[in-house]
Amino acid sequence: MPAASCGYTLPVWVAAAARASVAVLRGEASRPAWPLHLLQGDDAAPAPVPVGAAAPLGEGWALAAAVCDPGDGLDLTRGLTVWALTRWEERSGEGEDDWLRLEAGAGVGVHADSGAICASAYARALLAANLRPLVPTGLRLRLRLVLPRGRQLAERTSNAAFGVVEGLALIGTRAEAQASADPVQLDRTLDALAIRLAAPDFDGDLILVIGENGLDLAPRLGLPADRLLKVGNWLGPVLVAAGQGGVRRLLLFGYQGKLIKLAGGIFHTHHHLADGRAEVLTALAALEGLQGEALQALHDAPTVEAALANLEARDPPLAARLRQRLAATIERRTASYLERHAASGPRVGAVLFDRGRRLCAAGPLGAELLAAFCGASRGDA
């Protein structure tokens, strides 16, 4: 069975393309797949990862490509081409990390404050494990990564909330892809929820954080870590399980461009399955009195973030009212959803943030729960 069928994260395909490119520099014969050490344990054998074409470019450069396959789950990187350009350079120092000069080409995310490539510790360790033994003494490897569709795909992520611009970040903490739309991921989340609900100190409070951005931002704002549970796109089943499991106060904490789907009654939020965000935003704006060309412009904006930012620039009070209406609608639709599924026990609040990591709206219950949970974290009475 081809290795790709198991589903790999973006760092693995980056390492595969880089390995194939280095093979050209070393004069090795081409292969349809290269065995990679995936850092899955000391006794794990290298796994063959498919690659595409590889060739010399002239002036010492080599180029190789790989195409991401995250497996059966829905994932943003499916079909994404990764280009790896490599060449040898004279080593400039004796430092431990001087064996590699890693560069972000087009479509690869960088930190806005420093311009440095955004790559997880796992991604860097993967490159070191598979490439460093191949670098000749006295030389270092110059590796430039290019994701031709990276900038376009990054617009559908919350990278900017972490200060990552220009393209996709090379994130991931393991080899196997775990798409948040995958039923296996739902099972893991439900298992984690069941453990939380059965804990002796469970007091009926729960905060569902949407994705890694929410999980990172929530404790920074003072929300108690012992009440946080990360949830992916399977919000509906998790909400029902929480309601039926005894949760009494439930806070939804997430990015406005994701949670807006709940305002439209969409409780599986992966973009491959359902969208309607522009329609939901336009309907809510019309209820706030927006009309004509301004309403059309809101609908035609490329993202929810852009639509609200443009509206805020023209009419800040209206943008603030629209965000508040959005948060309140999320609360009402979620309460109705739980009631339809015989899980209407919890009081549900919603708190939204934007891509600038700024809290931008809270529903009536969301504001109350945010204050209560942050107060409990500080030990306030």
pLDDT digits (tens, 9 = 90+) for 305-332: 889 999 999 999 999 999 999 999 999 9
The stretch 208-229 carries a mean pLDDT of 86
Tens of pLDDT, residues 37-58: 998 766 678 899 999 999 999 8
Supply the mean pLDDT for the chain. 87
Per domain, the residue ranges of the chain are: 3-168, 183-378
Residue carrying the six token digits 């948060």: 327
Question: Model confidence at 21, in pLDDT bands (50, 70, 90)?
Answer: very high
Per-residue confidence band for 94, with pLDDT thresholds at 50, 70 and 90: low
Q: What is the pLDDT of residue 327?
A: 96
Instruction: Identify the pLDDT of residue 231.
Output: 87
Q: What is the reported pLDDT for 268? A: 74
**pLDDT exceeds 90 at position 109:** yes
Calculate mean pLDDT across residues 12-33.
95
Residue 4 — pLDDT band, cuts 50, 70, 90?
very low
Question: CB within 8 A of 238, min separation 6: which ones?
Answer: 186, 189, 190, 193, 208, 231
pLDDT of residue 227: 92
Q: pLDDT tens across 152-175, in order?
A: 988 877 677 667 889 999 887 778
Region 344-372: mean pLDDT is 92
5, pLDDT greater than 50: no
Cα separation, 204 vs 193, whole angstroms:
12
Please tell me the predicted confidence (pLDDT) of residue 288.
94
Q: Residues 225-237: what's their mean pLDDT?
A: 86
Give me the CATH code for the 3-168 domain, please.
3.30.2110.10
pLDDT digits (tens, 9 = 90+) for 257-288: 888 999 988 887 655 455 688 899 999 999 99
- Cα 208 to Cα 227: distance, rounded to the nearest angstrom: 8
- Maximum pairwise Cα distance, the chain: 70
State residue 3's pLDDT score: 37
Checking if the pLDDT of 1 tops 50, the result is: no
298 pLDDT band, cuts 50/70/90, is very high
Structure tokens at 173: 């903490």
